[in-house]
A and B are shown apart, each in its own frame.
Chain A
Amino acid sequence: MSKKNQPVQLPYEEIIKEDDVIPKEIDVLEKILRDLFHNCSDFRLKRFKHFKSNTEYLLAWMDGMSDKTAMREHVVEGIINVEKDMLTNSNLTDGVIPIIDIKREKNFKKTIDELMTGSPILILDGTGEAIIMGLIAIESRNVTESTNENNVRGPKEAFTETLRTNGALIRKKIHTPNLKLEEKIVGKVTKTKILIVYIDGIANPSIIEEVKNRINKIDIDSVLESVYIEEFIEDNKFSVFPQIEHTEKPDKIAAALLEGRISILVDGSPTVIIVPTVFACFLQSAEDYYERYIYTSFVRVLRFTYINISLLFPSIYIATTTFHPEMIPTKLLLTIEASREGIPFPAFIEALIMEVTFEVLREAGVRLPRAIGQTISIVGALVIGQAAVQAGIVSPAMVIVVSTTAIASFSIPAYNVSFALRLLKFPIMFLAASLGFYGIMSALLILLVHLCRLKSFGVPYLSGFAPFIAEEIKDTFFRGPWWWMYNRPRIFQPKQTKRQSVKKILQNAYLKWLGEE
């Protein structure tokens, strides 16, 4: 193996090898541990003595991660009362220590790994075996209302930073042993736990296998957020379009699992990713399914308009005003031209100034603390909106165009798609300024080739539209009523497709109308 391809190694891996066992002598062990945790101020090691049998034992834990009260009450006090001959590892784990989550471990490295996750370890002198107690008590955020994905109707709770809580939030919605939460550890230094969640029997086994393969190939020192995983496992790593959906709402994950998709939870991140993802997923919000279907279908149709507006509106404005003014009705054209009177820049430069300003404003508004954020909006609205127009730098028409585009881009449920569209807006604007509608169409065609090329875990990115699947219209262009959703979306190639038995609701309604029911 060349030096470049060697896995990450830290001093700890050199001291304790993969197959090392725990030394029997407690003194040796203590020295090794003290060396290992040199300068770790949160590492605690205490030697106790069991006076009835004159045996020494060792308790090690990480301060702030372990439940000290429970350790005193159940472990130390429990051992004091043990009779002389009863102090063996098997007795301790079989009931002397009143803890449920308790196990024995001989491997040194695994023991240390468990210690690092917060489990206290107990080692009796001369046994060479550690008792690992799951008394983890790490401070973490409570389950709270989702802040980034709001809805009026429907569940509001959101994931937290704790992996187990997140898993439980999903399990809370799908009560079946078929819901699998497979654990993997990624990150050579951070040793982050991730969960691969799917419903056995619904999700496509080959896609599950593919997900596992791709995750196994990841070789990185740290995984701090689910986007690390996302960027490693996505199909096209150079595309501007997000190919993996993410959410912080357990109900959305549950719905995705029931469609036969697979989600990946990363410890320490409240954002959960879902694969495979197609473009249509980004146009569906969780609330679509909690509101009545007629209204939601209307919203879905609107969203397609938004997408086109947020991608193309400035470009169309530039193309029409510079190349094809005859398209605009005469009266409107006169108004636009009058408002552009005295503006020194061509429409493209004007649009560029305003769009860039808007992007900066948006970025500033997101990052700033709330108190200062208000200043930004005032500065943005007054100084840039009104003053720029009055000073004759930009035309009022352009302000309308830019703000409409901005609103449209915000109304797309998935903001990572609106990032992509907003980025693409600039090259399209440039093409529109140089080649008019021909430039716009060329850009769209290149975009179409790109989107048709994209795949997410074997599923074409534009599935539903291209390849067109007639059955899926009810969940792409519109949102069909629940009683119509007989099957899971075929897009995700689920193993088992049936959602409900066909009840012939329309036929029954017709019979009722005839009075023959």
Chain B
Amino acid sequence: MYGIIHYRQLIYLQFLVILPTALLFLPSLIAEQAKQGAWVSVLLACLIGLITAMLILWLDKKFPNKNLIEINEILFGKIGRVVAGLLITWTIVHTNSVIIREFSEFMKLSILPQTPIWMFVIIKLIIVIYAVHSGLEIIGRMADFITPIILLSILVFLLFIAQNADGLNLLPLFGTGAKGILKGSIIPSTWFSEIFLASFLLPHIKQKNKKTFSLIFSMLFITVVLLIIFTIVMAVIGVELTARLSLPIFISSSLGTTLFFEHLDIVFVSVWILGATIKIIIFSYLGIISLGQTFKMKNEKHLILPLCLLMGILSISLFSNQMDILHYIKNTFPYHFFIVSLALPALSLSVSYIRRTK
């Protein structure tokens, strides 16, 4: 289940954990609140992400090669391990169910409107089970293979749509002002704070001295990529439309292609599938690992089938439609996620300082 990954693969994994779904949902969710000031919101969110990364790195420095659950065992004993473990597992499993459902809904909406949701879920779970069973090293290699493809197609995508960009759409630079910007930064912060998952990956990195670099670099890299994409998409379709459409990037990808082929949106969806699948694989992997760590299981592979089944069932039964998911993401998800991604590391860190544990 474990294995050793290169620090480049860690950067790629972080990239693939945050970017795919961020591309899909964030533009409209941010633009709705912050209007043209969306870029400030992204920067603020990046700040939250950096804080999370610093917390994780700090913890890693204090407890080398220990993940969040093991750290909690050192601090609070067995009960701490079980409580923190279950909390993290539940958050990851629940979030992953939401992602699988988001993914399936998007597939249904964009390319296969008549296919039932469970079809997407089942196929996705088959891939996930195969990949998770192969272990971290293989997932790292997959990220190695897929990330360049994704970056290249983002570049092509931007070149295609940039011809329709209108710079005036980006004015006024700060949109509706500080309140909107702050409100708009809450949801993207959730995405950026997903970097706390690196706590489970850092112990397996080959180049121990590159930990800080890889986390900070991946954070900044994701921010830059997101900023460029958001700006161009907003310049192309305007802020009002970005806010109103639920999937603005997908819509804009079908706009500006004037070459031989038309409607290249399906090609971009195909590439997006690659990234999103890796995201789901990593979340499932980490969910299984953290549950195994919670109960100190010797062989986590026993958990693959039941947990994947649970995630499949949850993803089908949690929500009834796309609007339901959006409502959850807007109103509940950030606060739910921050408990684990920000509050838990911060608590562990402060307790370790109060108790002076080494």
- Enumerate chain A interface residues (CB-CB to B < 8 A): 323-324, 326-330, 435-438, 440-442, 444-446, 448-450, 452-453, 460, 462, 465-468
Ordered by A's residue number, 19 sampled pairs between the chains whose C-beta atoms are within 8 Å are: A323-B111, A323-B112, A327-B262, A329-B261, A329-B262, A435-B112, A437-B266, A438-B107, A438-B123, A441-B273, A442-B123, A442-B127, A445-B273, A446-B127, A448-B145, A449-B138, A460-B141, A462-B145, A465-B144
Chain B residues, CB < 8 A from A446:
126-127, 130
Within 8 A of A (CB), among B217-269: 260-264, 266-267, 269
What distance in Å separates the Cβ of B298 from its nearest Cβ neighbour in chain A?
22
Chain B residues, CB < 8 A from A436:
111-112
B321 part of interface (Cβ distance < 8 Å): no
Pick the contact of B115 from A435, A452, A468 — CB < 8 Å? A435
CA–CA, A62 and B123, complex, Å: 63
User: Across the two chains, which residue of chain B brings its CB closest to A332?
Assistant: B260
* Interface core residue of A323, A328, A438, A442 (most chain B CB under 10 Å): A438
What distance in Å separates the Cβ of B121 from its nearest Cβ neighbour in chain A?
12
Chain B residues, CB < 8 A from A462:
141, 145
Contact A449 B112 (CB under 8 A): no
Contact A327 B263 (CB under 8 A): yes
What distance in Å separates the Cβ of B157 from its nearest Cβ neighbour in chain A?
15
Within 8 A of A (CB), among B119-168: 119-120, 123-124, 126-127, 130-131, 134, 138, 140-142, 144-146, 148
* Proximity string of chain B (269-295) to chain A, C-beta cutoff 8 Å, 1 when within and 0 when not: 110011001000000000000000000
Contact A438 B141 (CB under 8 A): no
B62 part of interface (Cβ distance < 8 Å): no
What distance in Å separates the Cβ of B323 from its nearest Cβ neighbour in chain A?
23
- Enumerate chain B interface residues (CB-CB to A < 8 A): 6, 8-9, 107, 111-112, 115, 119-120, 123-124, 126-127, 130-131, 134, 138, 140-142, 144-146, 148, 260-264, 266-267, 269-270, 273-274, 277
What distance in Å separates the Cβ of B76 from its nearest Cβ neighbour in chain A?
37
A-B pairs, top 3 by smallest CB distance, nearest first, are: A466-B145, A466-B141, A466-B144
Chain A residues, CB < 8 A from B107:
438
CA–CA, A462 and B134, complex, Å: 15
Pick the contact of A438 from B112, B145, B148, B261 — CB < 8 Å? B112
What distance in Å separates the Cβ of B274 from its nearest Cβ neighbour in chain A?
7
Contact A329 B145 (CB under 8 A): no
Chain B residues, CB < 8 A from A453:
134, 138
Chain A residues, CB < 8 A from B141:
452, 460, 462, 466-467
Q: Contacts A435-B112, A465-B144, A467-B6 hold; do A327 and B261 have CB atoms under 8 A apart? A: yes
What distance in Å separates the Cβ of A465 from its nearest Cβ neighbour in chain B?
6
Chain B residues, CB < 8 A from A460:
141
Chain A residues, CB < 8 A from B119:
435
Chain A residues, CB < 8 A from B138:
449, 452-453
* Interface core residue of B8, B119, B126, B263 (most chain A CB under 10 Å): B263
Chain B residues, CB < 8 A from A441:
270, 273-274
Chain A residues, CB < 8 A from B262:
326-330
User: Across the two chains, which residue of chain A brings its CB closest to B5?
Assistant: A467
Chain A residues, CB < 8 A from B277:
445
Contact A435 B127 (CB under 8 A): no
Interface of B is mostly: helix
Q: Contacts A326-B262, A327-B262, A468-B8 hold; do A438 and B142 have CB atoms under 8 A apart? A: no
Chain B residues, CB < 8 A from A437:
111, 266, 269-270
CA–CA, A400 and B53, complex, Å: 54
Pick the contact of B263 from A326, A444, A449 — CB < 8 Å? A326
Q: Contacts A327-B263, A438-B120 hold; do A449 and B273 have CB atoms under 8 A apart? A: no
CA–CA, A449 and B138, complex, Å: 7
Contact A467 B111 (CB under 8 A): no
Known: A438-B112, A438-B123, A452-B138. 17 other contacts (CB 8 A): A327-B261, A327-B263, A327-B266, A435-B112, A435-B115, A437-B270, A438-B273, A444-B274, A445-B274, A446-B126, A448-B145, A449-B127, A453-B134, A465-B145, A466-B142, A466-B144, A468-B148
Contact B111 A324 (CB under 8 A): yes
Chain A residues, CB < 8 A from B145:
448, 452, 462, 465-466, 468
User: Across the two chains, which residue of chain B brings its CB closest to A460?
Assistant: B141
CA–CA, A448 and B146, complex, Å: 9
What distance in Å separates the Cβ of A227 from its nearest Cβ neighbour in chain B?
27
Chain A residues, CB < 8 A from B115:
435
Chain A residues, CB < 8 A from B9:
467
Contact A448 B130 (CB under 8 A): no
User: Across the two chains, which residue of chain A brings its CB closest to B139?
Assistant: A452
CA–CA, A327 and B262, complex, Å: 5
Chain B residues, CB < 8 A from A442:
123-124, 127, 273
What distance in Å separates the Cβ of A280 from its nearest Cβ neighbour in chain B?
13
Chain B residues, CB < 8 A from A466:
141-142, 144-145
User: Across the two chains, which residue of chain B brings its CB closest to A439?
Assistant: B123
CA–CA, A467 and B146, complex, Å: 11
What distance in Å separates the Cβ of A478 from its nearest Cβ neighbour in chain B?
15
Contact B270 A440 (CB under 8 A): yes
CA–CA, A326 and B119, complex, Å: 24
User: Across the two chains, which residue of chain A brings its CB closest to B119?
Assistant: A435
What distance in Å separates the Cβ of A460 from its nearest Cβ neighbour in chain B?
6
Contact B134 A438 (CB under 8 A): no
Chain B residues, CB < 8 A from A440:
270
What distance in Å separates the Cβ of B331 from its nearest Cβ neighbour in chain A?
30
Chain B residues, CB < 8 A from A324:
111, 263, 266
CA–CA, A460 and B134, complex, Å: 13
User: Across the two chains, which residue of chain A brings its CB closest to B134?
Assistant: A453
Chain B residues, CB < 8 A from A438:
107, 111-112, 120, 123, 273
What distance in Å separates the Cβ of B24 from its nearest Cβ neighbour in chain A?
15
Contact A448 B261 (CB under 8 A): no
CA–CA, A327 and B110, complex, Å: 13
What distance in Å separates the Cβ of B127 from its nearest Cβ neighbour in chain A?
5
User: Across the two chains, which residue of chain A brings its CB closest to B132?
Assistant: A449
User: Across the two chains, which residue of chain A brings its CB closest to B127?
Assistant: A445
CA–CA, A145 and B42, complex, Å: 66
* Interface core residue of B6, B111, B146, B260 (most chain A CB under 10 Å): B111
What distance in Å separates the Cβ of B317 from its nearest Cβ neighbour in chain A?
22
CA–CA, A445 and B263, complex, Å: 23
Chain A residues, CB < 8 A from B130:
446, 449-450
CA–CA, A462 and B264, complex, Å: 29
User: Across the two chains, which residue of chain B brings its CB closest to A431?
Assistant: B123
Chain A residues, CB < 8 A from B120:
438
